Structure 1
Amino acid sequence: MRLPKTAHTERPWRIHEIAPDFTLEDVWALPTPGGPDELPRLVRQFVSEHSDVEPPVVYRFLFALRWKLGGLLGWDKPENGIGARVTSLRERLPDDLLAGPRGPEIATVPFTSLYQTDTEWAAEMGNQTCHGVMHISWVPDENGGYRGQMAVLVKPNGVFGQVYMLGIKSCRYLAVYPALMRMIGREWRQGAPAT
């Protein structure tokens, strides 16, 4: 379920001090009900390349199309990524986060882990269109339990990046996020401990 931006901005996340110049694009409640200490399980689910849940056809098609276009147009070349076109946000981390766990690397998409705490994990990516952050957190829910929350923060690369982000907005809301939420929920239920 899509959430108001205040669901992210009103929490004391560490990402606020690290990426204040990024725009908050989206905030989503993840269908991952659980106990108070299950962020590590959610992060493992996000980074795993071994899932029994196959993404929906529309999701696979849109991502295949995006990666194909990126390859043809050079959007995803190493010289457009982290450490080349943009400096990693790791350079902005305060000492306590640098000394703490970085979090696992994602096997299936071009994100690099920044940091992980008990309640949040952040990973970044960069290409010719933007510098982006996926922020996964663990929050109390409305029923006395807990659930995951995902925020997407971006810093578009000039006018081209702004046009690109605007151009993909309807695809994100109509196809990508609904499919992603269903997939996350199915994976979470399949990985639930037996009671």
Structure 2
Amino acid sequence: MSQKIKISPEEHLKHSLYVHDLLSDYELEDVWRFPIILQSEHSLDQFLTLFRSAGDQLSGKGLAGLLFRFRLFLGKLFHWDEQQPVDHLIPGTLRHRYAGREQLTFEELPDPGTGDFIPVYQLENEFLSEIANKTVEAALHISRVPQDGVWVVHMAVYVKPKGGFGRFYMALIKPFRLWVVYPAMMRSAKKKWEHFTKESKRDQS
């Protein structure tokens, strides 16, 4: 099985996923395949738990962590990231769009949490979260998809830049995302998953 982690949008779009229709008006910016393999007994939820832990660690160390902190500084300086409390369904958000399609209430959606990315939905093989600021509306999609008799995990980034400045900003940070942030995220998640599967095998022996 190929271990290439940056994959084409077409390779992602060929899978039957809820997100394709929900985000049909968004641009599919990047798709990555985590360098791990999930067996039939591994759920997406197990991976997501480790992925969040890896993300928390990543934001605090190394060059990727430095970039995260620098972006946070710029957001505060230029007031890019001011967000209203997520205590109800806010029109224009993906949570509002999804709830409308599925006829769900605010209480029936995933807990919004306190992070920058707000969960939209979690299905058996899909998880979607969103973020919006003065530069872009974006969504992070994690999916478990079949490949060669096992499961692999895709990470897709969808964006809707806000005006000319939003597109300039996305172009400006693209090299950092492609060459620093995402590769570091892949390595961190791989390390976490390998440790998890090793411990699981030890517990079963």
Q: Give the TM-score of the pair, scaled to structure 2.
A: 0.81
Cα deviation for residue 176 of structure 1 reads: 0.9
Shift of 1:114: 0.6
Closer, same or farther: CA 51–3 of 1 in aligned 2, 3 Å: same
Residue equivalent to 1:16: 20
In 2, Cα distance between equivalents of 1:75 and 1:21? 23
Runs of 5+ unmatched residues, structure 1: none
Distance (whole Å) between structure 2 residues aligned to residue 131 and residue 41 of structure 1:
27
Are 2:126 and 2:143, in contact at CA under 8 Å, matched by a contact in 1? yes
Q: Name the structure where helix makes up a greater proportion of residues.
A: 2
Match of 1:26, SS state, is: strand
> What is the match of residue 39 of structure 2?
35
Q: 1:103 to 1:2 in 2, by over 3 A?
A: farther
Q: Please state whether the residue corresponding to 1:75 is helix, strand or coil.
A: coil
Do the aligned partners of 1:76 and 1:127 also contact (CA within 8 Å) in 2?
Answer: yes
Give the Å deviation of 1:99: 9.7
Give the match for residue 190 of structure 1: 195
Higher-Rg member (1/2):
2
Q: Matched residues, percent identical?
A: 30
Distance in 2, matches of 1:77 and 1:84, equals 17
The equivalences for 1:69-108 within 5 A come to 69-78=74-83, 87-93=92-98, 94-95=101-102, 102-103=109-110, 105=112
1:45 alignment partner in structure 2? 50
Query: Which digits, 9 at most, give the CA deviation of each residue in 1:150-173, with x for residues without a partner?
Result: 000001111111100011111111
Gaps of 5+ in 2: none
* Count of residue pairs the alignment pairs up: 192
Structure 1 residues 24-173: aligned runs within 5 Å: 24-36=28-40, 37-48=42-53, 56-78=61-83, 87-93=92-98, 94-95=101-102, 102-103=109-110, 105=112, 109-142=115-148, 144-173=149-178
> Compared with structure 1, are the counterparts of its residues 55 and 32 closer, same or farther at alpha carbon in structure 2 (3 Å cutoff)?
farther
TM-score, L = length of structure 1: 0.85
